[in-house]
Amino acid sequence: MVKVEDIKTITVVGAGTMGHGIAEVAAMAGYKVYLVDIKQEILDRALEKIKWSLSKLYEKGILRETVDSVMSRITTVVNLNPDGSYTEEFAKILAETDFMIEAIIERIDLKQQLFAFADKHAPPHAILATNTSSLPITEIAAATNRPENVVGMHFFNPPPLMPLVEIIRGEKTSDETVEVTVALAKKFGKQPVVVKKDVPGFIVNRILGRFINTACHIVHKGLATIEEVDATVKYILGLPMGVFELSDYSGIDVFYYVFTAMKERGFNITPCPLLKEKFEKKEYGMKTGKGFYTYPEPGKYVRPKIPKELAGKVDPVLLLAPAVNEAAWLLENDVATKEDIDKAVKLGLGWPKGVFEFADEYGIDKIVEALNKLKTDLGLEEMEPQPLLLKMVEEGRLGRKTGKGFYEYGEVEEIKKKTILVRIEKPIAWVILNRPKKLNALSPELLKELGETLDELEDNPDVRVVILKGEGRAFSAGADVTAFAGVTPIDIAKFSRRFQELTLKMQFYTKPIIAALHGYVLGGGLEIAMSTDIRIAAEGTMLGQPEINLGFIPGAGGTQRLPRLIPRGHAKLLIYTGDMIPAEEAYKLGLVEKVVPPERLEQEARALALKLAEKPPLALMAAKYAIEYGLESNIWAGLALEAHLFGLLFSTEDVIEGVTAFLEKRKPKFKGR
């Protein structure tokens, strides 16, 4: 068996989009490359494209040698005689080949013919790989007498830029062949994932197929519009492109062929009629000027308009769940490890999180609920939740919220005080106002416990972000009016001062605080919410400062913070009338930053908190201080503070980490040091 160190010569057969890119990658990695195709014109064009691509990489400083020196390692070879037989020259270079990568058109007969010829002429140690995305490796291998040396090596377009390579084992592929191919992919500077069974679509296309197809069914059924789906995918899930945007960009015909081929090989999918319709009308997307969106000029890409306001009009879990279900199938059938599956969607599709990481964040129970809903609403049996997901729900492995899902997050710690419940889901902490029967009315005891809890969490290094919410049917209906009975003015002044101290603690808390609001957010409840950094409200939340109705005024900062958040006249209107306003109106005024359906409140708050938890803690604190102190000073003082905090951050390890990670093109790991 060949060792990766012994590989010197690589032959790439097929000089099309994928083939020429693969040849470029191999040559850049220092290998002697033969690039083979049926005609010299094709090869000449391929060489030109490689040269162009290399010069771009050179300009960017990615290529550390000259374009010519890389080019000098590539030799082109014509492999077909006019009578259709293979050329002698092809046989000759195959005899020198240690590793062949085939990237010709997706036709099993042609591939088998090629592999049979290669088998005859390549030395016994040579590995014969195919870049097929839709044909069975096992069938291609069957044309050779060395099926143990035949393997799938699936690159992504364009190969020089896309880091992922799926390495697929055919039925007879040996462990050594997989190992060497993995090692070679690494020598190419790529990140390989191993597909342990030759299933149609491997990892990426299966997950993508399920994701696109279901989103398309959702639109076809009229449950959401194209723009609503795309806005949700981009702005809530944070994927680089919307489902329909991506289809148009890559070509609806391309996806149509890939998905049809997968279905023919037994992938259980009901093709979305909309996709077929577009395909038949030859509305392929950007390249024809019309697909799901229209483009001013065929072939010229202009980003379609996807209004941000439409994000969340469709439940993101409905869009995500089919992808999770497919990934669960892969895991359950031992096709790939969960780490490789997550790596594949991140590197192959540019997802900001792995599909299992997403699932853990949204909650496995929510994923199962969404699948059941899709099954009914779309009438699609293929939405049946995978047994693995059902088992996880049964065992309470629901993801982050239980500390265990596809991944382990450490124990969720719960601390129960008299009026406050704390749940520490590292790296975030939930502080839950817990007097549900009294709509979380703020008794002196609750305020005291809230202050102490915040102090404890501020000292807890495992906690990066705090989320404040209310148990039961309200966030908080305000100060506990019963505590006001029979008290003296000085008692109330003391109460107010202490309460104000608590709001100041939150305003200058060294970690971000998010308020997750629902039900009633009144009086002191609103004053607390206004002291946090960011407010997310469930639809239907009512907010107000009703103190006037009781004969007094807000006493915990309401008269000061409300007019700082919303226009002065509106603040007066709220304080003078004591009227409540719904979340949607509060959003328009700038009193809350986001309004979401009630069932999504917790997830939205968690997602934001997890996002902030990845940011450098000291920089977050500095930003908060510059904003909070700056706004209460004049701009000169504010700017001076900003400059000094900015400067101070350059004494932190996190700045070094941030800049290094950027240059190394990886995600930074900030420690708060």
Asked if 299 contacts 227 with a C-beta cutoff of 8 angstroms, the reply is no
Q: How far is the CB of 443 from ligand COA (least distance, A)?
A: 8
Between CA 655 and CA 668 the distance in angstroms is 10
Please give the full DSSP string across 406-437, using - where no structure is assigned. Answer: SSB--PPEEEE-SSEEEEEETTEEEEEE--GG
* CA 71/CA 43 separation, integer angstroms: 13
Angle between helix 653-663 and helix 617-631 axes, rounded to 10 deg:
110
97 vs 545 by CB, closer to ligand COA: 545
The nearer residue to ligand COA, 300 or 473, going by C-beta atoms, is 473
- Whole-number Å distance between alpha carbons of 291 and 252: 7
Identity of the residue, 291 or 523, whose beta carbon is nearer to ligand COA in the bound complex: 523
Return the DSSP state at 293. Answer: S
| 547 belongs to the catalytic site | yes
- Exposure of 448 by Cβ count < 10 A (0-12 exposed, 13-18 middle, 19+ buried)? middle
Nearer to ligand COA, 215 or 522 (CB): 522
Q: For residues 76 and 48, give the distance between their C-alpha atoms in angstroms, rounded to a whole number.
A: 12
The count of other CB atoms within 10 Å of the CB of residue 397 is 18
The CA-based dihedral angle spanning residues 544, 550, 555, 556, taken in that order and rounded to the nearest 10 degrees: -40
Nearer to ligand COA, 436 or 672 (CB): 436
Least separation, in Å, of the C-beta of 502 and ligand COA?
A: 15
In whole angstroms, the minimum distance from the beta carbon of 447 to ligand COA comes to 13
Give the shortest CB-60-to-ligand COA separation in angstroms: 60
Short-list 139, 141, 90, CA closest to 115: 141
Q: Which positions ≥6 away from 378 have C-beta within 8 Å?
A: 214, 217, 218, 221
Is residue 457 a contact partner of residue 488, using CB atoms and an 8 Å limit? no
At its nearest, how many Å lie between ligand COA and the CB of residue 670?
A: 40
Cβ atoms of 652 and 673 within 8 Å: the answer is yes
CB of 546 to ligand COA, least distance (A): 4
Closest distance between ligand COA and the C-beta of residue 579, in Å? 12
Q: Which is nearer to ligand COA, 169 or 518 (CB)?
A: 518
Q: How far apart are CA 546 and CA 476, in angstroms?
A: 13
Angstrom distance (rounded) from CA 427 to CA 460: 10
Q: Minimum distance from CB of 416 to ligand COA (Å)?
A: 21
- Residue with Cβ nearer ligand COA (95 or 553): 553
Q: How far from 628 is each of 467, 563, 605, 622, 633, CA to CA, in Å?
A: 19, 15, 22, 10, 9
431: left (phi over 0), alpha (psi -120 to 50) or beta: beta
CA 493 to chain centroid: 49
Measured CA to CA in angstroms, residue 24 lies from 60, 157, 163 at distances of: 16, 13, 14
- Contact at 8 Å (CB) between 138 and 112? no
Query: Which of 547, 602, 604, 642 is an active site residue?
Result: 547
For 235-267, the DSSP string reads HTS--SS-HHHHHHHH-HHHHHHHHHHHHHTT-
Q: What is the DSSP string of 544-574?
A: E-GGGGGTS---SSHHHHHHHHS-HHHHHHH
Task: Please pick, among 102, 228, 357, 527, the residue that the annotation labels catalytic.
Answer: 527
Q: Which of 440/603 has CB closer to ligand COA?
A: 440
CA distances from 435 to 455, 476, 480 (A): 21, 9, 11
Smallest distance from ligand COA to CB 484, Å = 8
522 phi/psi in degrees, rounded to 5 = -125, 155
Q: Which is nearer to ligand COA, 17 or 443 (CB)?
A: 443
Q: Which is nearer to ligand COA, 482 or 651 (CB)?
A: 482
Residues that bind ligand COA (CB under 6 A): 438-439, 441, 477-482, 520, 522-524, 546-547, 550
Least distance from ligand COA to the Cβ atom of residue 555, Å: 8
16 vs 578 by CB, closer to ligand COA: 578
Shortest separation between residue 449's beta carbon and ligand COA, angstroms: 17
**Nearest one of 210, 214, 207 to 193, comparing CA atoms:** 207
Cβ burial of 3 (10 Å; 0-12, 13-18, 19+) is exposed
Which one, 472 or 630, has the nearer CB to ligand COA? 472
Rounded to a whole number of angstroms, the minimum distance from the CB of residue 433 to ligand COA is: 12
Taking CA atoms, 247 is separated from 91, 241, 305, 527, 549, in Å, by: 40, 9, 15, 47, 57
All residues at 6 or more sequence positions from 514 whose CB lies less than 8 Å from its CB, including other chains: 465, 466, 467, 468, 532, 533, 534, 535, 536, 605, 608, 609, 612
Of 153 and 450, CB closest to ligand COA? 450
Q: Half-sphere exposure of 133 toward its Cβ, with a 13 Å CA cutoff?
A: 18
Measured CA distances, 278 to 262, 290, 291, 292, 351 (Å): 19, 9, 7, 8, 26
Q: Work out how close the CB of 525 gets to ligand COA at its nearest, in angstroms, rounded to a whole number.
A: 8
The shares of helix, strand and coil residues in the chain, as percent rounded to the nearest 5, are 50, 15, 35
Active site residues: 527, 547
